[in-house]
């Protein structure tokens, strides 16, 4: 089962980018971030035409996440538990039933800039809520995958120029420590499983500005975390870097895994 994450940066503006990639890559399950639309504005038809079931958790203008799946989606839940007052659409979960059942969590972690400030505080609080939810998923002992745009650069080798990020929320010691705490509870970072010795990258995001793509000035912020039961099923992993060079690209590229599920 091929499962991917893609921050699409506006699904209506980039519907042809998305359908072109779906047709080529043929993922079974995709979590999308930054759909930037309410549920009723989501371009369902052109995605359903490719054989996908669609579950959205949209918001007007900003944020918004979705799950697309060629297999049926069950027990869908929207929103990250732990704060009933949180209005931002950044989290969706569902169960996908292949020959095994898998729990999929698609997330768009807060950017947190500028830091310090209320947005950074929201990021760190959101990460504590994510850790609690992640622990609950581990406790089920069901194969689980938590993937999406984490907006955290884990280590210096995850940036082309780490020194440029020292004042950025994505690279603060607090952000990095919060991600480590989640991972150390029992998750595997799938990209690092497959690229353990790389001293530079691989990257998943290149800014639109200043020729970042042309200079390969990238960062790794889109992550795939696997529960132990899911890690046991890992067959393959890829980062569709070529998508960044195409017309009307997102600033992120898809990251995918193939699971024996």
Partner DNA sequence: ATGGTGGTGTGACCA
Site for DNA, rule CB under 7 A: 9-14, 36-38, 41, 60-62, 110-111, 113, 119, 151, 207-211, 248
Task: Please state the closest distance from residue 12 (CB atom) to DNA, in A.
Answer: 4
Q: Provide the minimum distance between the beta carbon of 38 and DNA in the complex, in angstroms, as a whole number.
A: 7
Could you say which of 149, 189, 222, 240 is catalytic? 149
Per the annotation, the verdict on 122 as an active-site residue is no
Cβ closest to DNA, residue 62 vs residue 161: 62
CB closer to DNA, 43 vs 98: 43
Smallest separation, CB 73 to DNA (Å) = 24
Is 149 catalytic? The answer is yes
Cβ atoms of 35 and 42 within 8 Å: the answer is yes
| Rounded Cα gap, residues 10 and 42, in angstroms | 10
Q: Given 28, 52, 91, 108, which residue is catalytic?
A: 108
Residues 6+ apart with CB under 8 A from 84: none
Q: Which is nearer to DNA, 64 or 143 (CB)?
A: 64
Closest approach of DNA to the CB of residue 207, in Å: 5
Backbone angles phi, psi at 172, to 5 degrees: -65, 145
With respect to DNA, which residue has the nearer C-beta, 172 or 227? Answer: 172
Q: How far is the CB of 238 from DNA (least distance, A)?
A: 23
Which is closer to DNA, CB of 13 or CB of 97? 13
Q: What is d(CA 98, CA 135) in angstroms, rounded to the nearest whole number?
A: 24
> Which of the residues are catalytic?
108, 149
């Amino acid at each position: 089962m091929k499962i991917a994450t893609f921050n699409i940066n506006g699904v209506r503006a980039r519907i042809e980018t998305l359908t072109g990639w779906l047709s080529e890559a043929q993922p079974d399950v995709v979590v999308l971030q930054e759909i930037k639309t309410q549920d009723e504005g989501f371009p369902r038809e052109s995605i359903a035409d490719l054989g996908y079931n669609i579950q959205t958790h949209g918001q007007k203008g900003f944020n918004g996440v979705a799950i697309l799946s060629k297999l049926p989606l069950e027990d869908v839940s929207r929103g990250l538990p732990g704060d009933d007052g949180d209005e931002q659409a950044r989290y969706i979960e569902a169960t996908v039933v292949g020959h095994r059942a898998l729990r999929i969590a698609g997330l768009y972690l807060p950017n947190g800039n500028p830091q310090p400030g209320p947005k950074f505080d929201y990021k760190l609080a959101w990460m504590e809520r994510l850790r609690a939810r992640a622990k609950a998923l581990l406790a089920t002992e069901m194969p689980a995958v938590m993937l999406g745009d984490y907006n955290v650069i884990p280590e210096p080798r995850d940036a082309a120029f780490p020194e440029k990020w020292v004042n950025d929320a994505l690279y603060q010691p607090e952000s990095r420590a919060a991600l480590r705490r989640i991972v150390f509870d029992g998750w595997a970072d799938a990209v690092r499983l497959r690229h353990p010795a790389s001293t530079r990258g691989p990257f998943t995001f290149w800014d639109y500005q200043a020729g970042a793509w042309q200079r390969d000035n990238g960062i790794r912020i889109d992550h795939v975390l696997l529960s132990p039961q899911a890690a046991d099923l890992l067959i393959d992993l890829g980062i569709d870097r070529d998508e960044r060079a195409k017309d009307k690209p997102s600033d992120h590229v898809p990251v995918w895994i193939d699971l024996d599920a």
